Amino acid sequence: MKIDIARKQIKKYLNDSRDDLVKLTQDLCRISTENPPGKNFKPLTVFLADQMKQIGFKTDIIRVPKQYQQRYAPRETWDLPRYNLVARWDVGAGKTLHYNSHYDVVPVTDDWKTDPFDPVVKRGRLYGRGTSDMKGCMASCIYAFKALREFGLIPPWNIEISFTCDEEIGGMCGAGYIVKERIVRPDAAVICEGGAGASIMIGHRGVLWIDILIKGVAAHGSNPAAGVNAFEKGLDLLEIIREYHKQCLNRETGFTMDRSSARRPSLTIGGLSGGGTKVNTIPSDFHFTLDRRLIPEENVKLLVKDFKNIIANAMHCDKQLKAKMDVLMDFDAAITDSNSGICHTTQNAVQYVTGKTPRSCIFGAFTDLHFFTNNAGCPSIGYGVEGDGIHGSQEYAKVSSLSDTARVYADIALNMWE
């Protein structure tokens, strides 16, 4: 009976606070945190710390050591410090429930119809960079605990909230840092993106990012036989890699995915690529990246070994081919048992708020969830606001989803008994 009363109080409070929720999302989006390179990280964490202090959380702004940043972040970000915020509400419980959101956003393109950093509401949608991915989720998380504090509702677990950087470039200085350095040690986690509406993310595919450098021999363009064309050698190697990937497409996961195309491995070639110095000079170097997504049944260590063998065999067959492979990022799929307490609690919360039967699935993309499941070893789910246009020029969040998502977050916090 008490939980029914609490749910009604929270629903009314959050529905009445919808305009304030929109305003907070707008305020967050107005602080541009495009990454790369990663500007305005300090001002945003200070703003967020103030929000959390107002509702009684203890806060800690953590600067990532420069040496760590230079080890794990791209060179173009090194002059801009990385900051993470951890906010805690200690209720004296033996377990801690963690909520994680990343505050960095991808850079904007030049084809926005509105100012991407001054979000506007049109037809029930809030348009702006970061409204859906994922500052709207951050605002919903903050208001979830505003609601609990408003009515003196005490969750059964301690609450820990992190707002972290760099998810858009891999997350190593963000969630990766606070988890691997054991700044946070949660017993369960809610990643505030991935699922939405009646869909709950209980994991995501694995990732292997590789950069392959081909070394050739420079020569004048009028005499190509005098050199070794690194670009052409790279194309030859790519054909071998493409043939290998065709064989991998026979693999299909037995897990429920968020979309049918994610049931098999995927490969993106040349997200970054380049080389050469002049139009009439044989290029002496060429590089290209591979973005390989793993289904849950695949193992990233074995996949790395496969690529190393492909390159070694290619160089054995072609003595002029000189190739070096660097692994930029690698981790296996992150999966949480659908029978875990956090999954059941989230399913009940989503069922109550949306009135729909929840669907648990594996995300085809990846989030910071893997740091919590694979590194912290805690069961984790992903759930955020409904929207569309993520990383595009018309990104938006549904205004009604801001308060609904906050209700889900609050309901999870109140019902984590297991």
One-character DSSP codes across 177-236? HHHHTTS---SEEEESSS-BTTEEEEEE-EEEEEEEEEE-B--BTT-GGGSB-HHHHHHH
Q: What is the pLDDT of residue 109?
A: 85
pLDDT at 1 over 60: no
pLDDT at 328 over 70: yes
Mean pLDDT across 344-369: 97
- Taking the C-alpha atoms of residue 192 and residue 75, their distance in angstroms, rounded to an integer, is 28
pLDDT above 70: percentage of residues in the chain: 100
User: Cβ atoms within 10 A of the Cβ of 333, count?
Assistant: 25
SS3 label, residue 267: strand
pLDDT at 382 over 80: yes
Tokens read off for 392:
């595009």
- Taking the C-alpha atoms of residue 126 and residue 135, their distance in angstroms, rounded to an integer, is 11
Task: Report the Cα–Cα distance between both ends of the chain, in Å, rounded.
Answer: 19
Q: Give the DSSP H/E element, type plus range, for residue 117.
A: none
8-state DSSP, 8:
H
Tokens read off for 63:
């600067």
- For residues 10-47, one letter each, b for 16 or more C-beta atoms within 10 angstroms of the residue's C-beta and e for the rest, the string is bbebbeebeeebbebbbebbbbbbbbbebbbbeebbeb
pLDDT at 265 over 60: yes
CA dihedral 167→171→177→182, nearest 10 degrees, is 80
Q: What are phi and psi of 227, to 5 degrees?
A: -125, -175
In 78-134, at which residue ranges do the beta strands (DSSP E only) sit?
Answer: 83-89, 96-102, 120-122, 125-127
Average pLDDT score over the chain: 97
8-state DSSP, 360:
E
Could you give the maximum distance between any two Cα atoms of the chain, in Å? 85
pLDDT at 418 over 70: no
pLDDT at 2 over 90: no
- For residues 268-277, one letter each, b for 16 or more C-beta atoms within 10 angstroms of the residue's C-beta and e for the rest, the string is eeeeeeebbe
Q: What is the pLDDT of residue 417?
A: 80
Mean pLDDT across 28-40: 97
8-state DSSP, 105:
B
Strand partners of residue 18: none
pLDDT digits (tens, 9 = 90+) for 69-110: 999 999 999 999 999 999 999 999 999 999 999 999 999 988
Question: Using N-to-C axis directions, what is the helix angle for 41-54 and 136-150, rounded to 10°?
Answer: 20
pLDDT digits (tens, 9 = 90+) for 156-203: 999 999 999 999 999 999 999 999 999 999 999 999 999 999 999 999
**pTM score over 0.75:** yes
Contact assessment for residue 290 and residue 241, using Cβ atoms and an 8 Å cutoff:
yes
What is the pLDDT confidence band of residue 396, given thresholds at 50, 70 and 90?
A: very high
User: Cβ atoms within 10 A of the Cβ of 368, count?
Assistant: 29
Residue 8, burial from CB neighbour count under 10 angstroms (0-12, 13-18, 19+)? exposed
Letter for the amino acid at 249? L
Nearest to 51 by CA among 181, 132, 139, 110: 139
Counting every residue written for the chain, the total comes to 418
